[in-house]
Structure formats: structure tokens, C-alpha cells
Structure 1
Amino acid sequence: MNPKDRLQHARDLQLCFNCLSPHKFADCQSTQTCRTDGCSKKHHTLLHNSSTYNSTTQRETANRNSRQHDDTTNCSTSISRRKSTRHIPTLPITISHGKHRVHAYAMLDCGSKLTLLKSSIALQLKPDLQLDDTIQLNQALTSSDTASTKMTIAIGPYNQQKQPFQLNDIDVIMDWNLSQFNPELVNSICQRNEPLQHIRIATLPSKEIGIIIGCDFAELVTPSEVIHSKQNVPIGWKTPLGWSLCGRDNAATPNDINTINFTTDDSLFRHVAEWMKMDAEGISTDQRSLSTDKEALRILESSTTRLPNGHYEVGMLWKRGQQLPNNRWLAKKQLDSLLQRLKRNTEMAQKYQETIDTDLQKGFIVKVDDSHEDSTGKWYLPHHPVTNINKPGKVRRVLNASSIYKGVSLNSNLLTGPDLLTNLTGIVMRFREDQIAISTDIEAMFMQVFVSPEDQPYLRFLWKDNTGQPATFQYTRQIFGATDSPCVACYATRQCAKDNADKYPALEQITKRNI
């Protein structure tokens, strides 16, 4: 079969052109590329040289981080380097809704498909506002769902009595990780460049960006007048909302640091931080707060109980003053989205159901009736299937304990706990001491440790029952993905070794030195 026929066969079977698995190319998580010499493009090696492939994959790659959905937005970024600063037009404006008016900084971002209003601003305009919907945010590296709602506002230039521009049904979202705006820097650039000296940006009490105006209101982000000063100096950018700066400034102070203006996921930062930590293994010192570690140890010591079946029950490592709102409605929307996805892949749907049935049989989860319960004191975890191209036919159910609702998540309310794992440097060095080394694994380690009954309602998730209606399930064991699970599992393992020291005297020391 030639490459063209293979491509058509893959298209007929609705296979991903990158890994030949049964999902869309835009949803592919594989990092593999074509292994043909000199190619390295995002397609499978068997499809190399297909005459119609390039145009197809280029089009799908363009849509990879911008899924075709009405409630999807891409937000551009602005990066400050050591010797230059790049400016996206940002200026103060007045926002009104009914009788309420607030001042906030607006970023004019034609790279954003939608206009987004920060919930902290929206609540000043409408105190009873509820985020009762979801929106998918796509950035360069990640895609995430966040709580949202629609709102109509009027905006105008800063301190102007009337706000002539009405923005209908814009999206209000909980929060974003935008760098604070620096009006002093903008004003200093204008002062040292004569053509821009008439531009003056007002300083507001809060330097947070309150609204991103996207290309859905192009008339507000398109300049009616620009002023060019000199090369490598931002241009003056006049819109109906006023003057701002746009472009690069090479005269920025040498103390400027690298920043990325917009992201809703710090996973890349965490990965780099973990890599740097590994690189310094054996020479770095632990800088984590001793007070939080002491608090975690206090919870571990007071809540750990040995059950009659030999397993251990441990409470979750809550931060002081933890407070989680009931996010069931958001979990219901995520369940609806998941079920729609599984309808398109009956094989995956069947395997996903098998993961639920298996956990029920093993007692890892139980079905609960929450129809008559109080709405407080519980949390619902989003979940989704994950496949591995190296393990065909296997589907895992993954929980998202970092899912944010009303500004908080399960993980944001949990302590990490002290690092009870043995330093890897010592393990590697001892590994080389003798001729034979033995490696063992604790099967489903987290699932061997029970969660205290009072904490189990915070480990709920929604799935369908036999009639297809939403049903509530609850974990009875420590889950993979929770911030405190590694510490809890390690503590339970050490406690087990300590409790059995009479039978196995060397076990406690082995556990401390090699796990």
C-alpha cells in the first residue's frame, strides 16, 4: 500500500495522522514526529510522501490550539527580555453597568478572539453575578476549562462621564495570570521621546489588567492614528478609547526580567523547576516552610489509624482555614462534555466504564446519594480518559485535582507535606555497591491507603448510572493527582514497617533508606 492509499485508509478509519490512534489529529498528545531522514514533521512515518497530506495536516495543525468552538479564545503574549520590552496597547478606561462605574486597565489584544472581563471587576458592577457556565481557553501550550458567564457592559475613555461603546454578551471569567501593567514605564518612554510626550497614562489604584478587548470589537482595538518616534521605540497608538503604546522598546532598563503576560497554566514552569531541582540533586538545600511541614506531620500523626484488614486510614493534609464551595454544577457540565466525547468512540467508552466497574469491585470507590445532602462540605473532581500509544488498548481514568472553581481547587487547599522520599543520590550510590540489586513496586500504592470518612466527600466525581442518568461516586482511598497523596502514601508505608518491626526488625530501616 503506497503512502497515498495509507492516508486514505487512515482517513476512512478516522485515525490520527500523527500516531494512527482513534482520535482527532488536533487532540493528539503524542510528541513523536516522522522518522524519515530530513523530515521530522508531525505525521506518522508510514504517511510520509503522501501527496495530499501536507495541505491536510497544515490546516489541522493550524487548528490544533484553536478548536472550532464558539466559546474558545486564544490570548497572545507579551515578553520582556533583559534589554527590551514589548508593549501590547494597554490603557485605563471607564466601565459601567447600570448605575455602577469602575476604572480598570484594558488590554487591546487583536490576537484574542473574544473579549474577556475579569470577575473581580464584574462583581463591582454586578454584586450578585454568578459564574454559571464554562469557557475553554486555548493558549500556545495548554487548553483548559474555566468558569464563566455572559455580561453586557458599556465602556469609554478614562474619567469620561458617558461610556459610548456597548459590549454585548462578553465573557466574564474567574481570573487570569496576566502581568501587572506598569504605567510609570509607559510614561517614562513617552517623556524621553518628543513625538510621544503628549501621551500620559493615568495611574489607577490597581495595576491589574481588568479587561481584554479582542478582535470581536475590532473598531476599539484598531488605531485611528499612529505616531512613529524612532527605530526600536514603541509607536503611539490612538483608538476610540485613548492613547497607548505598541511595539518594542530597546531602551528598557537592564534589570528587566523575562515575563510572559498571559497563561492559565503554570505546568511548563513546574516542569522546568523540577528539572532544575534534579540537576542540583545532592547539593541543593530544602527551602520549604518548616511550619507547614510541622502542620502536615501533626495531621499525619493524629489521623493515621490501622484498620482491621491491615490497611491504614489517613486524613487529608488540609491547610488551615480550608474552604471549598460546592462545584457540582461545573462537574455536571464537564460530565456532559465527556459523555459526548465518548459517544464518538464506543470502544473507549466501554473501556472507560470498565475502569469504573473495576474500582467499584475493589472498593476504591463507592456510589453515594447526594440528592438530600447539604450543599457544603464536598468537592467534585473532573475526570477524563488517557491513552498511551505504547500500551494500546489500555485506558486510564485521570482526575484533575487542580481544577479551579471560584478561584480555588482541591490542591490549593492541601499541604504538600514533608518530603519523605529517600534522596535519590544515596539510592543510586548504594545501587552500585554489590553485584545484585533488587527493585520492587507497591501495586496501586495510593489506593492501598484509605481516606478518613470525614474527608471522603471531597473526593467525589460524577458518572452515569445504569439508566444513563448522572450518579455520584466517592473515593475511599488516596487519589493520584492530589497534592498530599505522595506524602500520605509514604507515611503509611513507613508506619506499616514500624508497626511490624517485631516480626521484621530490618524492615523499618530498609524502608527509610530505600523508598
Structure 2
Amino acid sequence: MPVTRSTSGKSKTSAPAASSSAQTVSTEWTQAGTESSSAATETESSNTAPTVRMEETTTRTERPSQPAATVAWQPEPRATAAPPPVVAQLLEKKKAAARPASKASTSASRRAARLMKAREELLRLKVELAAAKIAAIEAETDSEEEDIDTVVEDKDAEDRVDTWLNNSIQPLAIANEPHNQPAPPPPTTQATTAAPAGDMSTAIEGAATANKVDLTDLAAAIAQAARTGHHSTSRILNELPIFTGNHQEWLAYKAAYHESQSGFTDLENLARLRKSLRGRAREAVESLLIYTANPRDIMKTLENRFGRTDAIAVAELDKLRSLPRLTDAPRDICVFSSRINNVVATLGAIGKQQYLYNPELTKTTIEKLSPTVRYRWYDYAATQDESDPDIVKMARFLNREAELCGPYAQPEGLSRSQKTYNVESGQSERREEERNVQRCPACNKEGHNTTSCPEFKTAGVSTRWDICKKNRLCFRCLRLRKKTHHCRSGPCEKDGCKFWHHPMLHHEAVEKKNSEVVSSTWTGKSKHAVLKIVPIKVIGPRKVIPTYALLDDGSTVTLIDEELAQRAGLRGRREPLHIEAIGDTKVDTSTSRRLSLLIGGSGARHRIEARTMRNLRLSPQSINDGDLKDCRHLEDLPVTTRYKEARPQVLIGQDNWPLLLAEDKRIGSRHQPVASKTPLGWVLHGACTRTLGQRVNFLNEADDTNRINQQLQHFFSLEALAVQPKRPANDPEEKAMKILEKKTSRMEDGRFQTGLLWKSEDIQLPDNRQYALRRLEATEKKILKDPELKTKVVEQMAELVKKGYAEPAPAEKTPHRTWYLPCFPVLNPMKPGKVRMVHDAAATTKGVSLNDALLTGPDLLQSLPGVLMRMRQHRVAVSADIAEMFLQVKIIPEDRDAIRYLWRDGDRSSEVKEFRMTSLIFGATSSPATAIYVKNKNAEDFKTEHPTAVAAINKNHYMDDYIRSFEDEETAIETSRQVRDIHRRAHFELRKWASNSNQVLLALEEKEETTELSIGPKTEKILGMVWETSSDSLRYNLDLSRLPDDILQIQRPTKRQALQIVMSLFDPLGLVSPVTIKAKQILQEIWRRSTKWDDLLDEDLAEQWVKWTQHLEALRDVKIPRCYPGYSNGNK
């Protein structure tokens, strides 16, 4: 068929005859074409590079010839790579276009065949070299050590490819030009018509032009392939996320890999994995990444290690449990909803829907809801399908809530708050808007919080307190206090400190201040050692930082705080560090770096070698003028030898021994510090005598303002009588109940024994015998001043041993479970002449007390208003109390060493003896719950025989007081006798019977209790009320005997006196609320006016106070019927 070509912009069409004559092709030409076609096919089949699609046209148009290049480009020898499929297609197309159109002589055919073969070989080499160049340029972007801008690198790669292709085309154009003197046509013996020489030259010239056109198209195709493939590859490579081995990140990482891995070869996917893996994930496949491995094997290894569905499910549940409590803020509801839905979606994606049916998970989530949202959830859950898991319904519910409040939520991503200030000056107004950037309040810099601030760490404790007060920081978490700030941080716990402040605000000087509380005639002194601490400057490439260094002659290595080195810009190679100290203390770290740095002291600079150590916490030291007051040999030393709270951040050891040598020394007496002049400056070291304090007359200042305010807040609130639900049991209470159920048992004599409610089985108590001995001496000193008190105390302590409530302590002690209880007498002003010895379980030694190690126990106490209301139900009322209730409950022998005490009958000349209690003690936080549990457990053993009496024991006891009302005397007598008999089985003796019925009293009378029975006008004090049995009425217990005399006659009291009177009132039934509420209102107004404790009340408040006291006096004559009229059948 005719072949259309374009030369110099014109179109030519060959005649059919010429085309026919050009059909004769020599054997060599055909053979060369076959070999070239085979080579192209082999090249295409062996190609592994990404395929670049290009559209082909059947009609080609020749382009103008390019000027010949003067210098031919010589490729560097390198490994050949198979050309891309597009290149193979172009080779095949070029061969088809280069075949001769007519037959020629044998010699011309051979020459044309050799020329074509050479051109093909050259073209193939050029294409392979181009593919290798493109692969090398793309490989440069996978370097993990350099962060090169992708756009600039892509542009540079394209320019390099285009330059090389242009230089490669020009030599081919020169080689393809026809010879000036074409060779004569070879002789032919065939009958066919040979083509003239001119036609052969034209054919060769056309073939050369076609080659040049094909090379131009090939160059454009390669450049397009480089641009398209490189851009897409770089973009996808950059989108592969970093994976560090976190189970929660595995699903996202796996999805990102599988969605993009099909567009890359195994080598490229291996490079992507190598670039994205970090930390534990990289360690898990480190060996597979070193050698050429299958990416699928690497992903399988990672999934087996980090993609376990159970581990992911557990991690998701932990995220749900760690959610903070929800508030009613719209933004918090949206965030909470998103997190719940993420957990539900993740568990569904990994096929672990069974975890959604966990009832504990639902309970935890509901408890985190705010009251408002919780009530809305109850309404929503009642209308949902019960087949769905509760947590799924919760997710749908929160989605609905988030949609409703979403438009009102605070915008996301706001890290700055805008404040507007209006400032007026003269006749002009100016408005200034400033943005408060979240900065560290200690140094006013960004990038860290207060707890990690270097300047805040190096500051003294007093300075830290000043910073917190000045910047309105929370003393517990060191964060800015805002309106929505709700700090949940616990107490300090540093050195046993129980105060509610951050450990960085723990003032060690508190203990020193306590040691200064001495008598008024003695001045104490203390000796302490001073270490070699000198001020220096650490000089780094980033900044020069002043700090302190400790010159340690006993250290073999120089250490520098890692944070200080980072601030100074110091860098070095990482080497492991192993440190051994006193007491077999060892420190191993793999993050230490070996540094070479400059430090400066008072003189020249010095280069030292040091190792970094994270959290190099060296003790601070202070030296003031008072320490050097009597040291005349130190008078002219520079001021740098005195400092306050200097905490060294550099420790210089023997590896830098020239800095430890002393050039000069100044030595005083034995108990005075020594001054040594080192290359870094003067340092003080050695013994130092310090005056502890001057004449201090046992001064103690206590600030209980916060505690008093909390009590008043509770007092001001109106009581919700009989409507408060019983508080659910918490974990410590459930643990205490398990201990009681496990260790409580009935003894042979009928008593019960149980164990102490320890918070932990491995609790360790310090030795406090010396402290208990000092407390014993103080108690003896007190009772020796009052012979009557001494007699009662000695008799009561002897009764403890005589009745078996205590026993002599054995010589063998329980390790770490031995505790000595200080004993002291307690006098009750409401019961004159009665003394009770109390064991002080709250006494602390080294910050630990016995009560700290015990659980309070479950809340088994009945409601006080409820007991009183049940007493008022029926006509006949009965009351009694259990004698020595606590002492009737025995402690198991293995716990008795924890309740030892020291005693010697008040004779200070005799030897101190050790005893231990065998029963519950007064003062232990666990005793009330334990006693009530034993009382109820004893009653449960008789539930079948006497169900009514058992119910009375459980419901009508308030601690040891038994109070109940009955419809008639017969029922009262029968039930009360059963209650008494059941109590006796556990050695609980009911005494002091009282009743408004003479018949009941006579029936319950026993010979030894005849004098205790009360008939007639005698009154009984029952749970804060006064019960007149003769008139069967209740009176208000207005007993102000604890207050100063005539305090009610003061016309204008102080704030302190007013609070004393109001807080002395006790109204368990709320019968006198009209009077007490008025007192609360007066106190509230006193607090609003910020009246000081000892200031007199304002005149208007004083007038209200006088009127209120008159009403208070009138309460003495108010009587209320004990029994509700018309409530009981027995009243009719």
C-alpha cells in the first residue's frame, strides 16, 4: 500500500510501481529484521517496570531535522536494565517503518541491514541507559536520612532526563545522515527490475529520518513516563503512615498499605515499609528489612505481632475505660460520642462483637455520663430493641445528642483565647485585643508545660509557690485554674506527705521547721556536711547556660543532665551506660551520649568529656551567711560560695581529675567548713554547724479555714430527710466485706472473732515503739497531776486484762505487722466522772498510721432519722444499749501484734510492759463496721427461730443503741426478750432498759439491774433527743455545757462565738428547723461580709442575733409527742 511521509512540511506519495519494485528484500535484511524483532520481544517480556500507556497513530509525520551535536554523550558503564513496555512498542513500530519499499542490490541490502542493526543496538543501549537513569533518580527520593523537597527533586529529575535524551538524539542524527557518494548498485542476476541508486539513497535517507522521528517520540515518552511515574510514586510513598508497633494503629496502617501496594513492585513496597516502620515494629522485622524479602512476609510478621484482634479489642476497651467523666458542655458531648463510636466501629471491624456485650463496659460508660445525659439515656434505652448490645445503643444515642448540640459546640482547634480590654484615658477610648498564647508561666516560653520547665525545676520550693500564686496555677496539678478546671490529682505522698499539693511544691523545710520547736531556754545546733558545689557555665553551640556542678572525688565518670545538654545544643554518639552505686544500686541506660563540651568557672574555660543521664536528680544545697558567721578564715571569699537551693546538673568525676585538684586551701576548726580553690573557683566542703533556732515557745499555727468552710457548706444545705437513696458500695467496701465474710467465725464460748480490715495483704508497718513510749510518758505526766483521774485510768487498764480484752504481749513479734498504740484518757463533759481509755490508731510514725493501713469497711449503720421515726410509730416504746459492744468482738491471734500498747500502771519508776489487745479497739477506723457486722451475723443464725427479733436487731439498732416501738405491751415484752437472748449468744448484754410502759419494765427487770430501771419522770437521752418516759414526749436537747458560761447573754458576739453556738445545735428530726434556718442565714451573711474571726458582728446582724437567741431559749419548754397520733392501731 502507499506510504505517506512528510519531508520539510510537504507530503509525498510513492507510485504503485515503485512500491512494487521496493518489495524485494534481501535475505540479510529479513534476517536482521527478524533478530531485531526477537530482541524487542524478549526485552518486552522481561520488563518489570511500571507500564506507561501511550496512544499510537498509524500515520507519522516527520519533524524538522535538529542541528547535529558537536560532542556525543558517552554513557558510563553500569548494569543494564530492561526497557519499559512502551519502549519495546516503539522499537517494534520503528522496525516496521524502517523496512525498504523496493528491492535493491545485494551489497546495498547488506549495508542497509548492518546499518539498521547497528542503529537498533545503539537505540536499545540508549533505552536501557535511560531506564537505569530514571530508576536511580527515583531511588534518591527513598533516602531516610535526608528530607529533600519533593517538588524541587521532581523538577530536577525531569530536567536531567530531558537533557540526556536531547544529547542522545543528536549523535543518532549525525550517524543517520546519507553518504555523499552512495555506493553503486550491486549486480543482479534476477529478472526483476532493480531499483536505481537514487531510490536506494532515498530509502536510506527515509529510514534515517524515520529513526530520528522515532527517537524524538521515544524521548518524549520516556520524559512523560519519568514525570508521571515519579510524581505518583512520591505522592503515595509520602502518604504511607508511620507505624511504631502500637496495636491501636495497626488497622489504619494495614489499610493504607493494602490500598496502595498494587501500584508498586516488591522492591518499591519493601522500600516503603523500610521508610514507615519505627520502634518496636521495625525491631520485629529488622532482619527481613536488611535483605531483599517479600513484603507480604513482612506484613504477615507484623500482623502476627501487632495485629492480634484480641489485643486490639483489649486496647479499645482500655481506651473506653480511660475516658474522662462527661460534662454537659456541647463540645465534650461531641468528643465523647466520637470516641465511643470509634471503639464500637473498631470492634466490629475486627470481628470481636462479643466484647460489646460486656456488662461491666456498659456500667463503666454510664457512670461517666453527666446526670443530665444519664437521665436522657435511660429514656432512650427504654425505647430501643433489647437484642442490640447496650454499648451500641449508647453509641447511637450519643450520636443523636452530638447532632443536637453540635451547632453550639466550641470550634475545634482553638489553642488561643481572645480577650478584649477597654481602656479609657481622658476623652479617648482605646480597645486592645490580645491573644493569650499558652506559654509556660515560669519562663514565658512555648513548647513545654510547668512540670517540665527547666527554670521551674531549678527554682527553689518557695519560688515555685510564688510562681503558682502569681500565675493562678492549681497547686495540685500546676495547670492554669479556669472556670472549668476540675483537678483530680491526689495528695503529695512525697516523704509520706498527705497535703494536697504537687510533689514539686513539697517543702522539705517543713520538717526542719518542726525541729526548731524547742523550749524557751535552749538554743539547738545541728551539724551537717557540705559538698563541693561550684557555679559554672555550660557552653554549647546553641546557648550558654549557667548552672551548678558537683565535684565528686568518688565518681569515676562525669555526668551531665540530658535536658541541660539538649538546651545547650550538645550532641554526641550514643553509648550504653552502666552505673553502680552504694547499696548494690545499679543504673543501666541505653540512651546516654558521650559528649565533649566546654565549661567555664570563675577563670578560664575547660574542655571535659561527659556522659548524659536522664533525670540526673542531685540533692540541692544551700549555704548562707549564717552558716559562715563564725568562720573568720572564710571572710574574704567571693559571694559565689553562698547560694540558696543550688541543685547541680553536672557531676564532675575522676575522669576529669585536673578540675578536682585544689590549688589553695583555707582550713578552720574541726566543725567548720573548708574552702578549696579549684580551676573552676572556690568551693566549700566539710562539716558545718548550723543554729536550729532561737527561743521559740512551742509556737504552732494551724489553718483550718478550708475544713471549716466545707463543714459550713454542709451545714447550710437543707437536710433531705428519708429521701436520700442508700449509697452503692464501692470497691474498698466490697473488699472489706469479703475479709469479714472470710475471717469471721464463732468461738467455743459463743463470741465471734474476726481479722483487721487490712488494705493490702503485704502491708509493712514501721517500728513506732519509741514514739509510743514518748506518748506513754506524756500520758503519765498528765494523770499524775490528777490523782482521781489516775485511779480511774489505772483501774480501767487493769480491767482490760482481767476481763480478757487484753493480754501480755509475747516476746516474738510479727515482722512488719507490729504496731504500738498510744493510749490516752477521754473525758465526756456530757457524762461527768466517766473516763474512757482510747487507743490512738490515728497516731503517725514516718507518715504512716494504723488507720492508714485499715479499710473503713462497709456502711452498715442504719439511718439515724429512720431509727427515730420507727420509734415514733407505735404506742409502746422500748430502748436499751449494748454494754462494751466493741470489746465483745475478738481479733484473730495473727493480727493482735498490730494492736500492742505500752503500760506500767502510772509508776514511772517501774519497767515498761508490753500488752496487746484481743478485742476491737476504740479509735480504729474499721471497728464500727466490724462490730455491726458481727451483731447482724449473730442475729442471722436465729432467723428461722425468731424472725421478728432478728429484723428488730437489724433495723432498730443504731450502733449499740436498741430503740423500737410496739402496738401493745405483750408484743414489746416478747420481742425484747428474744432480742436480749439472741444478743447474749454472742456475749452482747443489753442494759439500761427504758420504756413508757411500767408493765414492760417490770417484765424486763432482772435482779442485778433493778437500780438501773427507770419508771416515772426520768428522762432518757436517745440519739440527740430527750425522751420523757412519764409523759411520753420528746424534748429538744439544748445542752450548751461545752460552751463558755453566759455565752448566750452576749449582745454582740464575734464571728467565732456565733459559730460555736450554731454548730452546737443538733436536730436529727428537723423539728426545730424554723429556728435553725434563721441561724444559718445569719452565718451566711457573716461569711458574705468577710468578717474576721474575732471581729464583732455588724449592728444589724447583732440585732438579728439577739432575737434569735431569745427564740433558742424558748426551745427548752417545747415538747413533742413521741408517738404519731392515729398512725398505729395500738394508739386507738
**Per chain length, whose mean CA-contact separation is higher, i.e. which structure has more relative contact order (CA < 8 Å, sep 6+)?**
1
**By percentage of residues, which structure has more strand?**
1
Q: What's the TM-score once normalised by structure 2's chain length? A: 0.24
